[in-house]
Structure 1
Amino acid sequence: MSKTLPPLEQLALTLYDIGAVQLGKFKLHSGKKSRIYLDLRLLVSYPAALRQAVAAYRLLLDNLSFDVLAATPLAGLPLGTALCLDMDKPLIYPRKTAKSYGTGKQIEGVWQVGNTAVIIDDLITSGDSLLQAIVALKASGLQVNEAVVLIDREQGGVANMQDHGYKLHAAMSIRRILSILEAHQRITSKERDKVLKSLK
């Protein structure tokens, strides 16, 4: 039996094995074509994999200073909920659209004006959905400086966030995942190269 793998290496293999990392030809939300598709929404159906993901987020979050976790709708929400339970930290989330009934809230949850929020999302491509969430949070009196994602697709998102004055922390990059998958014979070097070429 081989030694226990480092947690991030194990997570990369788990993501592939549950179908959260797929190679092929895909059209992304942005309209761009890609040779890799990351479907981290699957994590909620695999509690053990979700626990591995939470541990990866914790490696980053334990070094940050914040009052509340803020999850992006919808992909960040199950991850934010799992982290809220694991870290015993309050969770809030901006709605896609403000409620037109009841309290008409734009942000769900409890916070104080001036609280610092760290944003949780599953991955970053361009960074646009994170920036939209930040606008809503700041409009409600929260301070936001940092965001944490599981995977950086390495398609300009980190630089985009930086240009707007925010720091992005990613547990893993696409390159790292691909090299782990190749090292463990889940994919070939030819497949890895095709994906990397498609990211440009």
Structure 2
Amino acid sequence: MTLSHTDARTRLLELIKELAVVHGTVTLSSGKQAEYYVDLRRATLHHEASRLVGQVMLNLIDDAGVEFQSVGGLTMGADPVATAIIHSAQPERNIDAFVVRKAQKSYGMGRQVEGPDVRGRNVVVLEDTSTTGASALAAVEGVRTAGGNVVAVAVIVDRDTGAKEHVERESGVPYLFAFGKDELGLD
């Protein structure tokens, strides 16, 4: 059963607060210190939350009027988000997913972007949460090098630490997010 957009968003927010918000001093991938950590894999890989992630993120991107055929981002945070979106879209829409490796492989086909070819396709780069936007920008670069046309960056949780402005300035595409840290009670 698919929930209304509002109900799906409300329930996903509840699950993120319950499953993914961890309080205590942590060092983020950006190297910055924070008094909380949003471990979204605890939600994106959860049986109920995963379905809601797909629905909420697909609605977010569609509501922004973004036309795309493929979604993905830097492994590993973006992987379950992309999978949730493609499953949420089926069977009405044929959306593919891709994975961007941190570095190009030195063996096999030597690819940095894995999955169905992104060359010539409109793609949305995904991230589960973002602090500086560095991971999203690395994925944007990898996709562009592979010939994909990045049309947006979409994030489940924005930490309100400048990632939106940084990504938009550096990539030239809109940065969309489903939830801000204020909605998680993390102000």
| TM-score of the two chains, using structure 2 as the length reference | 0.86
Higher radius of gyration, 1 or 2: 1
C-alpha distance in 2 between matches for 1:17 and 1:176: 13
8 Å contact kept, 2:151–2:173: yes
- Post-superposition Cα deviations, 1:5-56, rounded to whole Å, max 9, x if no partner, equal 84333222212222x0122222222222111210011125421121222221
Q: Does 1:17 align with 2:14?
A: no
Give 1:67 deviation, angstroms.
1.8
**Number of equivalent positions:** 176
**Corresponding position of 2:145:** 139
The reply on whether 1:167 has 2:168 as its aligned counterpart is no
- 1:190 aligns with none
SS of 2:132's partner is coil
Written as runs of structure 1 = structure 2, the 5 A alignment for 1:89-128 is 89-111=95-117, 113-128=119-134
Which has the larger displacement, 84-93 or 169-178? 84-93
TM-score, normalised with respect to structure 1 = 0.81
Contact 2:53 2:84 in 1 (8 A): no
Gaps of 5+ in 2: none
Residue 28 of structure 2 corresponds to 28
Q: What is the root-mean-square deviation in Å for CA atoms of aligned residues?
A: 1.9
Q: Can you give the 5+ residue segments of structure 1 that lack an aligned partner in the other structure?
A: 179-194
Q: Distance in 2 between matches of 1:112 and 1:12?
A: 31
Whether the 8 Å contact between 1:68 and 1:111 is mirrored in structure 2 is no
Which one of 73, 76, 79 corresponds to residue 78 of structure 2? 76
Give a deviation string over 1:136-157, Cα, whole Å, max 9, x none: 1101111112011111100000
Whole-angstrom CA distance in 1 between matches of 2:45 and 2:177: 22
**CA-to-partner distance for each residue in 1:107-147, whole Å, 9 max, x for gaps?**
11122532111111101111011011111110111111201
Query: Quick check: 1:113–1:140 contact (8 Å CA) kept in 2?
Result: yes
Query: What residue in structure 2 maps to residue 57 of structure 1?
Result: 57
127-136 vs 109-118, which moves further: 109-118
Q: What one-letter code is carried by the residue in structure 1 that aligns with 2:47?
A: P
